[in-house]
């Protein structure tokens, strides 16, 4: 079975919700929709206080090249345009809407019929992705239309679909592959058409045998799509690691997958693309895993963007007494939330509730130079050294040791027997080095 060759760790999988059918979370009474839910420039708000909006209507328009539209996820009245603390922990602008009924924009096809025929051309698909606000739903939220536009001089010969879902706990992609397999594969075909490639490879970790089997059967009806089981290892779902595992190409440091003639999209994204292109449904809801060892009813839900996390927790049986930490995303790379009114955004793949016993870090001890961080690093960096250099402020040396290559997967901090906060210091060093590099460019 394929996997990436260097580094990696095996955190306990804890996929508690792997068998939970995706349910629809009821529309809440009010939502707060942030205007920056993607990497790039925030969208520009185009509604005013008091305006009536429909579900699926654009409320903030894409601004600049790397940006995308934001849609209302509910119908109702704009209550205010104000700031809210989002999943990153920072305050940012959001549109607050009070819900009245659930009236969708007329152009959306709400039937259950599966449409296989792709009528749009390559350019039209890319335009539709922008209009529909599609971003990478794996967590990075990079606007998809940018990724689908192959710049002149570059070529793409294979599309890779990331079904690894290597983060523990999360099961949203797993459930989509099982329950919306056909739509997902049509979505993959649409992406192939947009990129003008004839070949697509879906990589799925072998802990999802049912999904692998199901999709392998379905894929026989689709031209050029193959399913590949992968050995379970974190961070398999990292773009560069997945490319290495599936087609044995190594993306050079500081470059993009297109430099090795490939593009990677996530399972959730492919499904969203299907809905946008075939059903004309913009991205205003997504599958979110709500899970935790103490939750009474963990599960997978279709959640409208802007729904407060508290509503999702309610649906899952209420906040357990022993909750010590709430994480948006996976346990390895997710962000911890400081309150439960944070809105679900496009990048929220899961909400994990950790009991108090698992939510505090252990005391860090001296480094015993065991080199486990080096063998865990999927990029073959030396985390112990990067930490020391950042701690001592030796940023020039940290740059030479390629601190900016770090993708912050957390394997080093996870494995460290002395519980050292390796990644915290590496982040500090990395951001300083990036700032230094920018200043150098400005001076020139």
Partner 1 sequence: MSNLLNVSLSPHTHGKETTRKLMFGVVIALLPALFTSIYYFGIGAIIVTATSIISCVLFEYLIQRFIFKKPISITDGSALVTGLLLAFNVPSNIPVFIIVIGSFISIAVAKMTFGGLGNNPFNPALVGRVFMLISFPRQMTTWPIPAGLSTKYIDAVTGATPLAIIKEGLKNGESISQLMTQIPTPVQMFLGKMGGSLGEVAAIALLIGFVYLLVKKIITWHIPVSVIGSMAIFTTILWLINPEKNADPMFHILAGGVLLGAIFMATDYVTSPMNPKAMIIYGCGIGILTVIIRVWGAYPEGVSFAILLMNAFVPLMNAYIKPKRFGEEVKNG
Q: Taking CB under 8 A as the criterion, which residues in 385-404 touch partner 1?
A: 385, 402
Residues 113-152 binding partner 1 (CB under 8 A) are: none
Q: 351: closest CA among 207, 180, 167, 178? A: 167
Sketch the per residue contact string, 269 through 308, with partner 1: x for CB under 8 A, - otherwise: ----------------------------------------
Site string for partner 1, 206-245 (x = CB under 8 A): ----------------------------------x---x-
Q: Give the separation between CA 208 and CA 178, rounded to whole angstroms.
A: 10
Give the contacts of 186 (CB within 8 A, at least 6 positions apart). 114, 115, 116, 118, 274, 278
Q: Under rule CB under 8 A, which residues in 353-372 are in contact with partner 1?
A: 354, 358-362, 365-372
Assess 155 for contact with partner 1 (CB under 8 A).
Answer: no
For residues 174 to 203, the per-residue mask of contacts with partner 1, x marking binding by CB under 8 A and - elsewhere, is ------------------------------
Of the ranges 69-77, 146-154, 267-275, 410-418, which one interacts with partner 1 (CB under 8 A)? 410-418
- The nearest distance, CB 245 to partner 1, in angstroms, is 12
Does position 91 interact with partner 1 (CB under 8 A)? The reply is no
Interaction of residue 313 with partner 1, rule CB under 8 A: no
Of 99, 381, 386, 433, which lies in the binding site for partner 1, with binding defined by CB under 8 A? 381
How far apart, in whole angstroms, are the C-alpha atoms of residue 240 and residue 378?
Answer: 10
**How distant is the alpha carbon of residue 193 from its chain centre?**
23
Question: What is the rounded distance in angstroms from the CA atom of residue 290 to the CA atom of residue 37?
Answer: 20
Smallest distance from partner 1 to CB 125, Å: 28
CB of 404 to partner 1, least distance (A): 11
Question: Please, which residue, 8 or 203, has the CB nearer to partner 1?
Answer: 8
Question: Of the ranges 50-58, 67-75, 191-199, 330-338, which one interacts with partner 1 (CB under 8 A)?
Answer: 330-338
Among residues 332, 345, 387, 433, the one that binds partner 1 under rule CB under 8 A: 332
Let me know the angle formed at the C-alpha of 69 by 63 and 71, rounded to the nearest 5 degrees: 145
CA angle 286, 292, 293 (to 5 degrees): 155
Work out how close the CB of 98 gets to partner 1 at its nearest, in angstroms, rounded to a whole number: 27
> Residue 127 CB, nearest distance to partner 1 (Å)?
32
């Amino acid at each position: 079975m394929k996997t990436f060759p260097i580094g990696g760790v095996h955190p306990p999988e804890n996929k508690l919700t792997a068998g939970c059918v995706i349910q629809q979370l009821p529309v809440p009474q009010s939502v707060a929709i942030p205007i920056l839910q993607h990497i790039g420039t925030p969208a520009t708000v185009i509604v005013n206080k008091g305006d009536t909006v429909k579900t699926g209507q654009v409320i903030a328009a894409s601004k600049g090249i790397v940006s995308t539209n934001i849609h209302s996820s509910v119908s109702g009245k704009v209550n205010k345009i104000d700031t809210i603390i989002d999943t990153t922990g920072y305050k940012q602008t959001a549109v607050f809407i009070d819900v009245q009924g659930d009236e969708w924009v007329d152009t959306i096809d709400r039937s259950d019929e599966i449409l296989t025929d792709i009528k749009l051309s390559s350019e039209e698909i890319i335009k539709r992705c922008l209009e529909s606000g599609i971003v990478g739903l794996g967590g990075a939220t990079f606007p998809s239309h940018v990724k689908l536009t192959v710049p002149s001089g570059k070529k793409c010969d294979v599309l890779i679909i990331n079904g690894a879902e290597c983060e523990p706990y999360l099961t949203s992609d797993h459930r989509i592959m099982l329950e919306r397999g056909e739509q997902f594969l049509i979505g993959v075909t649409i992406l192939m058409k947009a990129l003008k490639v004839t070949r697509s490879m879906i990589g799925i970790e072998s802990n999802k045998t049912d999904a692998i089997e199901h999709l392998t059967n379905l894929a026989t009806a689709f031209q050029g799509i193959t399913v590949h089981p992968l050995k379970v290892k974190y961070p398999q779902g990292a773009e560069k690691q997945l490319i290495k595992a599936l087609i044995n190409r190594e993306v050079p440091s500081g470059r993009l997958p297109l430099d090795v003639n490939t593009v990677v999209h996530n399972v959730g994204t492919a499904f969203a693309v299907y809905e946008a292109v075939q059903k004309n449904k913009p991205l205003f809801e997504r599958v979110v895993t709500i899970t935790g060892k103490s939750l009474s009813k963990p599960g997978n839900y279709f959640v409208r963007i802007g729904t407060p996390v508290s509503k999702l927790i309610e649906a899952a049986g209420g906040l357990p007494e022993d909750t010590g930490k709430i994480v948006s995303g996976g346990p390895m790379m997710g962000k911890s939330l400081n309150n439960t009114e944070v809105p679900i955004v496009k990048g929220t793949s899961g909400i994990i509730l950790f009991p108090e016993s698992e939510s505090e870090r252990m005391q860090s001890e001296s480094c015993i130079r065991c080199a486990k961080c080096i063998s865990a690093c999927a990029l073959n960096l030396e985390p112990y050294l990067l930490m020391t250099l950042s701690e001592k402020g030796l940023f020039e040396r940290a740059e030479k040791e390629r601190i900016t290559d770090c993708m912050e997967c957390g394997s080093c901090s996870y494995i460290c027997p002395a519980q050292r906060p390796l990644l915290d210091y590496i982040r500090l060093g990395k951001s300083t080095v990036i700032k230094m590099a920018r200043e150098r460019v400005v001076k020139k």
